[in-house]
Amino acid sequence: MNHWTYLPFLLVWALPVILIQWLVGWRYLWRERGQWIWIVPGLCIYFTLADAVAIKAGIWHFDTQSLIGLWLGPVPIEEVLFYLLTAMMLVQGFVITWRGNKS
Amino acid sequence: MTYAGFLLLFLLIPLGILVGFLRERLLDRRYLTIAGILTLVALIYMAPWDHFAAIWGLWSWRNSHSWGIRWWAIPPEEYLFCALEALLAITLTFAILTRNERHNNLSVSKSSSNKNSNNTYLAPPPENTCHDKTITPTSPSSTHNERADRENAS
């Protein structure tokens, strides 16, 4: 294989951001966890369902050689993880900046 | 369904509903600044990653379902997806965080206006609080001196 497959390519891209967010803003993230934590799986489920529609409609498709081969219906498990991690990066990023520079 | 139709149905319409629900609450300079910066950061961080995935063939888009344009190896719709996903996640989080703030503020002002109908909870504490403190035997002498100095000065 002369290129990265989806799963490591995704993890190397997203995990450092999530790690830095927790290193920098763990105080806010932990204190506010009851408020934001449910938004992440909520968005993940919503975008996974939307993704299933897009894949079924043929808007985008994946190279099956680059996937680990676990699927949730038409959606590769990597894609579910993508929505989980992007939702985490965005929601946590907002919580930290919103609470962090409170005027 | 085209990519543009997908964006309209799953991103623009939900975001529009959220904006319609929040309305003037969104006219908050701090929210607008943070949302703008985070969306820009998301686009800048997504683009090279998506570009490499596209040239390696990890995923691809059908030209028949998109506008057929590529900025780098990425269709413009993909940038819109990224920006709208960011705005949706950020605005939803903003709505939930400030909903609780609003509840707290409402209950604070409600309880103080119950105690005092003139809404004087913003006024400084009454002078006698300070006076009582200075005459208590347990209070540090410096407090007493400071107060005496202030009285002498005036």
Tens of pLDDT, residue by residue over A23-74, are 999 999 999 999 999 999 999 999 999 999 999 999 999 999 999 999 999 9
Q: Do A61 and B92 touch (CB under 8 A)?
A: no
Selected for mutation to probe chain B from A31, A86, A90, A91 (highest B CB count within 10 Å) is A90
Provide, as residue numbers in chain A, all residues whose Cβ is less than 8 Å from the Cβ of B26.
Answer: none
Q: Is the pLDDT of residue B85 over 50?
A: yes
Nearest CB among B52, B96, B100 relative to A39 is that of B96
Q: How confident is the model at residue B106 (pLDDT cuts 50, 70, 90)?
A: low
Q: How many CB atoms lie within 10 A of CB A74?
A: 14
Identity (one letter) of the amino acid at B30? R
User: Which token pair is A79?
Assistant: 């894609």
Per-residue pLDDT averaged across A77-82, rounded?
96
Per-residue pLDDT averaged across B144-149, rounded?
48
Q: What phi-psi label fits residue B57: left (phi over 0), alpha (psi between -120 and 50 degrees) or beta?
A: left
Which is nearest to B35 in space by CA: B77, B98, B101, B78?
B98
Q: How confident is the model at residue B130 (pLDDT cuts 50, 70, 90)?
A: very low
Per-residue pLDDT averaged across B52-65, rounded?
91
Q: How confident is the model at residue B123 (pLDDT cuts 50, 70, 90)?
A: very low
Q: Chain B closest CA to A48's CA: distance in Å?
A: 11
Q: How many CB atoms lie within 10 A of CB A46?
A: 16
Nearest-Cα residue of chain A relative to residue B30: A98
Question: Average pLDDT of chain B?
Answer: 78
Q: Chain A closest CA to B47's CA: distance in Å?
A: 12
Q: What is the pLDDT of residue B102?
A: 66
Q: What is the pLDDT of residue B133?
A: 45
Per-residue pLDDT averaged across B121-144, rounded?
46
Q: Do B6 and A4 touch (CB under 8 A)?
A: no
Q: What is the pLDDT of residue B148?
A: 47
Q: Do A39 and B89 touch (CB under 8 A)?
A: yes
- CB-defined contacts A:B, below 8 A: 108
pTM for this prediction: 0.78
